[in-house]
Structure 1
């Protein structure tokens, strides 16, 4: 029996799309979109070394997962099949997990550091990399460190990862974080004036991963209290946290 497909918005949250990423490096979004939306006909013309695949590098909280999910959403919107896999969820059994994802047009593999040092998992990833190239499957990797800095035990895997086009992501400054908050609040229909925005920016850490949960909480609290999101409301709702 076939499993019904979830709607695109449920699989890939609207906040995490390529178009909603703030302050991406020059050309990064266009490159990810092109890779995500290529057809099987054009896939045969990809660089045989994998240099046109993408490796996202940067510390926690800079939006690597955002871009991976955004690329998957772009692929599916273009009629392609995509799959996202956090490698931490498959550590120790990566071969089976990757085998189950074959048949997709795009694989987005998050957190390579989670399997670094596990030779069986590294070999499984190396084999998948090679099979994907032969099959015309696109790959996007993400890790906190560059390939040369990961404690990998398999030199051939390090070599393959190093051949990918590298996009290095950096933490947002206060202006960038403010823009992320504005955009995400607007998509929820939340009105944040400058005073409320400034109050949040002084108290929310730089990790983008928590912004969605924070705004969801404020949305629910605002609706329940039938109040606008003002500084007094923020102090009442979040002040004790």
Structure 2
């Protein structure tokens, strides 16, 4: 799913900015105490800034969006910014977020090595601290492992409380698909979920998009999602992902 930029996000209703699938209750296998830490920061009950670190598919974006939704549910304005979308305008994008009590910045690894962006992020970090803003970062690597050009930025990021996330195994993916299907009111057999995990891309983002496709097809044909139905709908698409 493509996330909106900072300016567009401010004009979108909560339901569009923070999709229903991206909520704390739909997150599987979180480290002990992690969800409570994130929710406390988002709601204003705790002040320790957080740094989520994990490989692709470990749920960093899910938790960043869930935190923003939690903040909004408590009446606190929030902003989610995927840093990949800010190339060439990092300073402008960050300055536009100044009036949000909670901010989640996703994809720090995409900033590392670009000195102008690092300087903009360093300045943002200091301003946000002075203003009492709550900030959560997300990246694929720890601050020490990022190829940052600014030692002071690395130092600031290292002061955040770190939460390490791990990619889900097949049992975790199976649970996520079941949860998301139930949230849609979608009837899908356990055997159908196993069939999907054996034959299609196991990346959660790809699986979520596929679930949307199957949801529409199921509604159109008024059928449960079973293995024969998957064979009919996916046809040659299956088998292209991980085996």
- The TM-score, its normalising length taken from structure 2, stands at 0.90
Q: Name the structure 1 match of 2:19.
A: 13
Alignment pair present for 1:202 and 2:198: yes
Alignment pair present for 1:180 and 2:169: no
Q: Name the structure 1 match of 2:167.
A: 171
Q: Name the structure 1 match of 2:28.
A: 22
SS of 1:240's equivalent? helix
Q: Name the structure 2 match of 1:49.
A: none
- Whole-angstrom CA distance in 2 between matches of 1:140 and 1:209: 21
Out of 109, 112, 119, the position equivalent to 1:123 is 119
Q: How far 1:156 moved relative to its partner?
A: 0.5
- Whole-angstrom CA distance in 1 between matches of 2:154 and 2:223: 53
Q: How far 1:200 moved relative to its partner?
A: 1.3
CA contact (8 A) 1:171 1:206 kept: no
Alignment pair present for 1:62 and 2:58: yes
- Whole-angstrom CA distance in 1 between matches of 2:35 and 2:211: 25
Structure 1 stretches lacking a partner, 5+ long = 47-51
SS of 2:94's equivalent? helix
Q: How far 1:113 moved relative to its partner?
A: 1.2
Out of 179, 189, 211, the position equivalent to 2:207 is 211
Q: Name the structure 2 match of 1:111.
A: 107
Q: How far 1:36 moved relative to its partner?
A: 0.1
CA RMSD of aligned residues (A): 1.5
Q: 1:34 to 1:96 in 2, by over 3 A?
A: same
Alignment pair present for 1:227 and 2:227: no
Alignment pair present for 1:34 and 2:40: yes
Q: How far 1:63 moved relative to its partner?
A: 1.0
The 10-residue stretch of structure 1 (221-230 or 84-93) with the greater mean CA deviation from structure 2: 221-230
SS of 2:76's equivalent? coil
- The TM-score, its normalising length taken from structure 1, stands at 0.91
